[in-house]
Structure 1
Amino acid sequence: MLSVTRRTRRSLATAAAALVLAGCATVPARSTVPSSPQAQDELLRTAERTLVVRCLAARDLTLPDTAPAGPPAPAEDRRLQAALFGTGPRELSLTLATGHTVTAHTDGCVAAARQNLYGDQTRWFRAQVTVDNLRAEAQARMKDDPAHRAALDRWTRCAAPPGRPRPERPGPAVAARCERESGLADVRARLEPVELAEVRALRGDQLTTYRQLRTRALRRAAELSAGTTEQKGNDAS
């Protein structure tokens, strides 16, 4: 199981639900890769779910329904989570330039599905985590810019004026107003594309690996889709 930023933890919390919902999607019956990124993402999600379902079936387990009648028993839920995401120490680890460390299991049905699709789950893990956090890295680099620091100081004074109780987190309306009045929004809009371009150049090797392994996975997913559709046709005849 991954263990990272708050954003990644939220993603993991919905991973099983995403696998269930992917079963409702339709993908091309031919062994071809769709052209649009959205369709490609759907193809990969559906293929991963297919592989996970097969893996769980070998362990006499199934994914829960999208609308179960009631919560599973604690022991059953723990068994399912272990089968999905693995157990014990996490074998994969990557510390990002932002300081966050991402870890993952290499066992479990999700890991097995990704090994099948991408061919090398260790390389895919490193490439995917790096690419998923490019924007976060660019935003972290922005904080070293003097203009950004000055704008952030103005934003802080706007959101929490001296002599008043400092809120733990200003409301959305206050935050948005202060971003405009402090100039922070304009500074971020100017700096982020520059920093993101630099980060992408720095992480060029991982970007290349990401594209290569994703292309491999899309071909494998298309083969799985075609095979599943053919099997359904044979079962119906």
Structure 2
Amino acid sequence: MTTLGGGCADGGDGSGPGSVPRSVRAQDDLLKSAESALVRRCLTERQIPTRSVGDDGQGRGVAPQREFPYGIDDPGWAARHGFGIPVERGSREPGVSASEEQQRLSDALFGTGRRELSTRTATGLVVQANSDGCLAEAQRVLYGDLGRWFRTEVTVNNLAAAAHRRVTQDPVYRAALARWSHCVAPVQEADTPGELRSAWQRRARGLAPREATALQQRYAVTEARCVRRTDLARTGARLEKRYAAELRAEYADVIAEHRQLRDHGLRYAVRHGL
């Protein structure tokens, strides 16, 4: 990545003050921070309170985040965390409808009216968004061309889902999945790991939290042992690597355009101290 300044101290990721970070993670953090700063500036100009922006409340009392796209393959993790789905502990107060202030914030962030931005992903999904909200305004300023950014960002971010879909339709994966289904059948009949989770949720509705947790762990351990036994996760990962490479080749022009827009955003963020 070309830096914007020379002779600066190293910033820990190979860059210094006034330069674009070299690592992808640091670049992602910079773009997220810059976008957030521009959104807050826009909201302030529109006299919208910003105290709740960026507070997603994640990471409180939930299982450690692990990705298991083709079934849990770690029996030890499954024994401790089950599927990683929180179990309800007692009744909750009835939900309170969104306040006028929250609605104002949502409208200001994401815009209102007809959705002017639209693109179709590699999975065939049509994604649309407004262009008059503060998020769109921040992206317009940061990347220089909102329409191009929306199209390429949505497309590139969907490629992993497209690769996953191709894997699940592959005959080799389907054969491994059939073996997995036969393996879990003595505990619970299910054609896919998703169906096994749904079966647990149905049975857990009438159970006490401790019993529901124990049942979740039992099902999850069964899933994991059968994933190991049938090589389901490794089969999925191997196929995904191939399909991801195919999709990168198919969408090479869009990926290059997306990278160009990211570079524009990084340079803008550094130049303006965001």
Q: TM-score, normalised by structure 1?
A: 0.73
Matched, 1:64 2:89: no
CA shift for structure 1 position 158: 2.2
**Corresponding residue of 2:34:** 47
For residue 236 of structure 2, the aligned residue among 181, 185, 188 is: 188
CA shift for structure 1 position 98: 2.0
CA shift for structure 1 position 206: 0.9
Q: Secondary structure at the match of 2:180?
A: helix
Contact in 2 for aligned 1:47/1:224 (Cα 8 Å): no
**Corresponding residue of 2:60:** none
**Corresponding residue of 2:119:** 94
**Corresponding residue of 1:126:** 151
**CA distance in 1: counterparts of 2:182 and 2:25, whole angstroms:** 42
Give per-residue Cα distances to partners, 1:119-148, cap 9 Å, x unaligned. Answer: 111111111111112221111112332211
Contact in 2 for aligned 1:118/1:214 (Cα 8 Å): yes
- Residues 32 and 86 (structure 1 numbering): CA distance in 2 closer, same or farther, change over 3 Å? same
Matched, 1:159 2:146: no
For residue 206 of structure 1, the aligned residue among 254, 265, 269 is: 254
Give per-residue Cα distances to partners, 1:23-77, cap 9 Å, x unaligned. Answer: xxxxx9943212222221222122112211211111112311578xxx9971111
- Residues 35 and 192 (structure 1 numbering): CA distance in 2 closer, same or farther, change over 3 Å? same
**CA distance in 1: counterparts of 2:16 and 2:238, whole angstroms:** 45
**Corresponding residue of 1:31:** 18
96-105 vs 39-48, which deviates more?
A: 96-105
**Corresponding residue of 2:137:** 112
Structure 2 portions without partners, runs of 5+: 1-14, 56-95, 191-195, 201-218
Contact in 1 for aligned 2:116/2:131 (Cα 8 Å): yes
CA shift for structure 1 position 110: 0.6
Bigger proportion of residues as helix? 1
**CA distance in 2: counterparts of 1:156 and 1:99, whole angstroms:** 28
Letter in 2 for 1:118: Y
Aligned residues: 195
Letter in 2 for 1:123: R
185-194 vs 168-177, which deviates more?
A: 168-177
CA shift for structure 1 position 165: 5.7
- Residues 29 and 57 (structure 1 numbering): CA distance in 2 closer, same or farther, change over 3 Å? farther
- Residues 188 and 79 (structure 1 numbering): CA distance in 2 closer, same or farther, change over 3 Å? same
CA shift for structure 1 position 161: 4.4
Contact in 1 for aligned 2:122/2:159 (Cα 8 Å): no
Give per-residue Cα distances to partners, 1:198-233, cap 9 Å, x unaligned. Answer: 0100011110011000000000011121xx6xxxxx
Matched, 1:221 2:246: no
Q: Secondary structure at the match of 1:93?
A: strand
**CA distance in 2: counterparts of 1:102 and 1:93, whole angstroms:** 6
% identical equivalent positions: 46
Q: TM-score, normalised by structure 2?
A: 0.64
Superposed structure 1 runs of 4+ greater than 4 Å apart: 164-167
213-222 vs 39-48, which deviates more?
A: 39-48
- Residues 160 and 121 (structure 1 numbering): CA distance in 2 closer, same or farther, change over 3 Å? farther
- Residues 204 and 59 (structure 1 numbering): CA distance in 2 closer, same or farther, change over 3 Å? same
After superposition, the CA RMSD in angstroms is 2.6
